[in-house]
């Protein structure tokens, strides 16, 4: 009799556990719907919606449901044993975890609303100091955000406490929830069920459950997927042929010890465009923070907000389909100066473990150049200073070296990124000897066009912003949409104006006539909505010089990784600089073909933990999705399985070699490094 009573008691407790779990889980789902509606409403107010509210709400609710289905069974399996031990403990635990979940959800929603990119495992790729600097720049909490936070959390607390007492589904309905979750997880296509392809990347990201993205990204970071296939191993580094373009071949010397070491075979494509002088030219590389093609020069789909650069482009070599190597600044120095791989979290994140490597800095210094780097912020950010010093830079000038009399960007929340672009350029011109005996390699990195996009002359550039929209003949709807991002556009106009002043002053210098200028973006500003996956990397490259004898608008694809090999090849042809026989460039030289084509293989790293983009030929692989590019760098989903397998195979071979650098393999032999490092 006692055993029978015990069985009945256990059965009743299981039923009670299942019903209370169903109550909690359905409230959880309902609250996710509420939060999604709140997110859409907030974005409608701050950023404008990319599509109709109802369509976005339906997609958002659908993706919330899929996220919920992935977790119901797992949480049920954990909840029931705790309930059997202590019903009160199970209920309190669920309530606490639900509140914690939505606190994190609010933070993730707030991050997306400010940055227009979703936060993922990239959080784990930054040091505490870097995070403090980035968070400090974004501004503090305002009254509206605090009230919104309190209201949403109050809804969660009230719902979890009161509604679960009032709402208790029947046993069979309750039991159906984990069973439906089991069926969903057993469905072979469940991972594809959350694939969305709305009109823009902004729309796709907006409707995505931010917690789902964050936790999935974190899981993938700590449990990376390794493709077993090696059937396309011979395609590594672009050794491929198709009907679109002919790939580039590298002859590797000793892959066992030096994964990237190969014959230096870069073709000099720049000489036909220049009239060289007897003296080696100065090279000035200007890296404009956030300078994306989306709003730069003619044909920009958001409108041309860089009138000076457009004028300069007419007298320049201009690559309109150029790509940065990363979605953040951490890739720009190692890519442009050293054509380097990414390692685990970006080459710079290796810190003291960075392997010895060649770069524009040490090679040109060994050939008699003076090298310098100018930055309006703190060069310790992202380990930039460490990388530059490892490459024996002669002069490293950042915010700590600016003398009195220079003005910083406005302070926000007690923080400023540093000195504005106009002051950076003024400092550069005032501190460089125009009659220097040595040729100069100078690198400048700006900060004005960075979140929070505060400038020193707001009223002036707000007027210019409004005038520019009139020049571009925007209608009222287009104007109102752009006004949602007026701080960003004002900072772009400011940066363009700073460049205009810089060149006007530089033309007065004695060394102007023998200087080659390169201007590009480190990545595209993500805080203005993006249209597709490649948009984050799409930047211009402008090569301007009084030495140019002809100009060109170039539609072929090249990247940051292709800059250093081409500069060195040009200097070797015309000024007999000494170059090693073997190099470890990941990329080869620039492609100057005017028509649209791609002869490069292009690995791209969006964040410090997100190496999932790869471009080869006219195709772009993003995770497991394949896109086909067109001549305007638009892209559409492709179901070409053959091309997808080729890109996956080639990309995996790159990642294997990249991981060998993380494990301690060298980039170049000691003999080459010692010859060109001045050590």
358 contacts 338 by C-beta, under 8 angstroms: yes
- 528 DSSP β-pair partners: none
Question: Which segment of 89-93, 429-433, 627-631 scores lowest on mean pLDDT?
Answer: 89-93
With a pLDDT cut of 90, the percent of the chain lying above it is 72
Task: List, in order, residues 6 or more apart from 256 with CB less than 8 Å away.
Answer: none
Kind and range of the H or E element at 319? strand 317-323
Q: Where in the chain is the domain with CATH 3.40.720.10?
A: 266-593
**For position 211, what pLDDT does the model report?**
93
Q: What secondary structure letter does DSSP report for 256?
A: T
Average confidence (pLDDT) over 565-594: 95
Kind and range of the H or E element at 642? helix 641-662
Question: Which segment of 212-226, 303-317, 346-360, 391-405 scores lowest on mean pLDDT?
Answer: 212-226
40 contacts 206 by C-beta, under 8 angstroms: yes
- 354 DSSP β-pair partners: none
What is d(CA 333, CA 611) in angstroms, rounded to the nearest whole number?
17
CATH number assigned to the domain with residue range 266-593, chosen from the 4 options 3.20.20.210, 1.20.1250.20, 3.40.720.10, 2.50.20.10:
3.40.720.10
What is d(CA 401, CA 413) in angstroms, rounded to the nearest whole number?
23
Segment 14-28, tens digit of pLDDT: 888 899 999 989 989
**For position 234, what pLDDT does the model report?**
42
Distances 143 to 140, 149, 467 between C-alpha atoms, Å? 10, 10, 32
Is pLDDT of 108 > 60?
yes
Helices (H), 512-640: 563-575
Average confidence (pLDDT) over 550-570: 97
Segment 497-537, tens digit of pLDDT: 999 999 999 999 999 999 999 999 999 999 999 999 999 99
Segment 326-380, tens digit of pLDDT: 999 999 999 999 999 999 999 999 999 999 999 999 999 999 999 999 999 999 9
**For position 236, what pLDDT does the model report?**
38
How confident is the prediction for the chain on average, in pLDDT? Answer: 89
Distances 121 to 207, 213, 224, 495, 503 between C-alpha atoms, Å? 19, 9, 12, 31, 40
**For position 232, what pLDDT does the model report?**
39
**For position 264, what pLDDT does the model report?**
87
Distances 593 to 14, 139, 140, 263, 553 between C-alpha atoms, Å? 71, 44, 48, 23, 9
Q: How many CB atoms lie within 10 A of CB 260?
A: 26
Segment 470-490, tens digit of pLDDT: 999 999 999 999 999 999 999
449 contacts 420 by C-beta, under 8 angstroms: no
Q: pTM of the predicted model, to two decimals? A: 0.88
Task: List, in order, residues 6 or more apart from 45 with CB less than 8 Å away.
Answer: none
Q: What secondary structure letter does DSSP report for 355?
A: P
What is d(CA 365, CA 568) in angstroms, rounded to the nearest whole number?
12
Helices (H), 247-315: 307-313
Q: Please return the burial class of 537, using the count of CB atoms within 10 Å of its CB with bins 0-12, 13-18 and 19+.
A: buried
Task: List, in order, residues 6 or more apart from 32 with CB less than 8 Å away.
Answer: 64, 67, 68, 105, 209
Is pLDDT of 636 > 50?
yes
What is d(CA 77, CA 185) in angstroms, rounded to the nearest whole number?
14
Task: List, in order, residues 6 or more apart from 576 with CB less than 8 Å away.
Answer: none
* E-assigned strand segments in 489-616: 515-521, 538-544, 552-554, 558-559, 582-583, 601-604, 613-616
668 contacts 584 by C-beta, under 8 angstroms: yes
**For position 143, what pLDDT does the model report?**
59
What is d(CA 485, CA 181) in angstroms, rounded to the nearest whole number?
41
Kind and range of the H or E element at 177? helix 171-186
Q: How many CB atoms lie within 10 A of CB 261?
A: 22
């Amino acid at each position: 009799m006692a055993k029978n009573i015990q069985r009945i008691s256990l059965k009743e407790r299981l039923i009670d556990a299942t019903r209370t779990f169903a109550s909690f889980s359905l409230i959880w789902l309902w609250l996710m719907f509420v939060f999604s509606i709140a997110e859409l409403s907030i974005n409608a107010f701050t950023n404008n919606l990319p599509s109709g509210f109802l369509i976005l709400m339906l997609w958002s609710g659908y993706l919330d449901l899929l996220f919920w289905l992935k977790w119901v069974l797992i949480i049920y399996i954990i909840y029931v044993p705790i309930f059997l031990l202590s019903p009160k403990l199970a209920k309190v635990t669920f309530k606490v975890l639900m509140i914690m979940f939505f606190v994190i959800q609010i933070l993730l929603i707030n991050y997306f609303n400010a940055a227009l990119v979703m936060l993922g495992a990239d959080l784990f790729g930054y040091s505490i100091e870097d995070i403090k600097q980035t968070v400090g720049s974004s501004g503090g909490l305002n009254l509206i955000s605090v009230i919104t936070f309190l209201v949403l959390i109050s809804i969660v607390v009230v719902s979890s406490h009161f509604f679960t007492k009032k709402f208790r589904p029947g046993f069979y309905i309750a039991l159906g929830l984990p069973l439906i979750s089991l069926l969903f997880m057993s469905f072979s296509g469940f991972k594809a069920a959350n694939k969305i392809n709305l009109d823009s990347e902004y729309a796709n990201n907006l409707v995505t459950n931010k917690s789902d993205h964050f936790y999935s990204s974190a899981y993938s970071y700590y449990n990376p997927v390794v493709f077993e296939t090696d059937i396309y191993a011979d395609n590594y580094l672009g050794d491929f042929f198709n009907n679109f373009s002919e790939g580039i071949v590298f002859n590797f010397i000793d892959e066992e010890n030096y994964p990237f070491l190969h014959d230096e075979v870069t073709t000099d494509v720049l000489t036909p465009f220049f009239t060289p002088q007897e003296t080696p030219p100065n090279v000035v590389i200007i890296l404009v923070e956030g300078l994306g093609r989306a709003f730069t020069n003619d044909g920009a789909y958001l409108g041309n907000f860089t009138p000076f650069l457009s004028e300069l482009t007419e007298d320049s070599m201009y690559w309109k389909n150029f790509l940065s190597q990363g979605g953040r600044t951490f890739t720009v120095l190692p890519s442009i100066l050293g054509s380097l791989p990414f390692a685990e979290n970006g080459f710079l994140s290796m810190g003291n473990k960075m392997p010895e490597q060649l770069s524009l800095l040490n090679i040109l210094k060994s050939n008699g150049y003076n090298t310098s780097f100018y930055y309006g912020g703190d060069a310790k950010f992202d380990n930039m200073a460490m990388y530059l010093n490892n490459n024996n830079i002669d002069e490293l000038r950042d915010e700590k070296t600016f003398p009195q009399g220079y003005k910083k960007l406005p302070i926000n929340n007690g923080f400023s990124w540093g000195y504005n672009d106009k002051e950076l350029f003024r400092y550069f011109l005032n501190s460089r000897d125009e009659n220097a005996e040595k040729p100069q390699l100078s690198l400048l990195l700006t900060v004005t066009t960075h979140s929070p996009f505060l400038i020193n002359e707001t009223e002036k550039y707000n007027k210019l912003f409004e005038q520019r929209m009139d020049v571009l003949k925007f209608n009222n709807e287009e104007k109102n949409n752009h006004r949602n991002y007026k701080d960003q556009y004002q900072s772009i106009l400011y940066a363009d104006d700073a460049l205009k002043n810089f060149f006007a002053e530089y033309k007065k210098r004695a060394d102007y006539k023998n200087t080659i200028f390169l201007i590009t973006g480190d990545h595209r500003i993500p805080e203005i909505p993006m249209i597709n996956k490649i948009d984050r990397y799409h930047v211009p490259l402008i090569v301007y010089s009084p030495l140019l004898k002809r100009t060109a608008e170039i539609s072929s694809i090249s990247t940051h990784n292709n800059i250093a090999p081409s500069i060195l090849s040009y200097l070797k042809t015309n000024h007999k600089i000494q170059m090693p026989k073997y190099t470890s460039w990941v990329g080869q030289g620039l492609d100057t073909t005017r028509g649209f084509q791609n002869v490069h293989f292009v690995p791209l790293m969006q964040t410090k933990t997100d190496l999932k983009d790869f471009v080869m030929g006219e195709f772009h692989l993003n995770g497991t999705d394949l896109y086909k590019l067109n001549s305007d760098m638009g892209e559409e989903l492709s179901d070409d399985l053959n091309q997808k397998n080729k890109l996956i195979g080639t990309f995996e071979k790159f990642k294997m070699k990249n991981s060998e650098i993380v494990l301690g393999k060298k980039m170049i032999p000691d003999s080459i490094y010692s010859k060109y490092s001045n050590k």
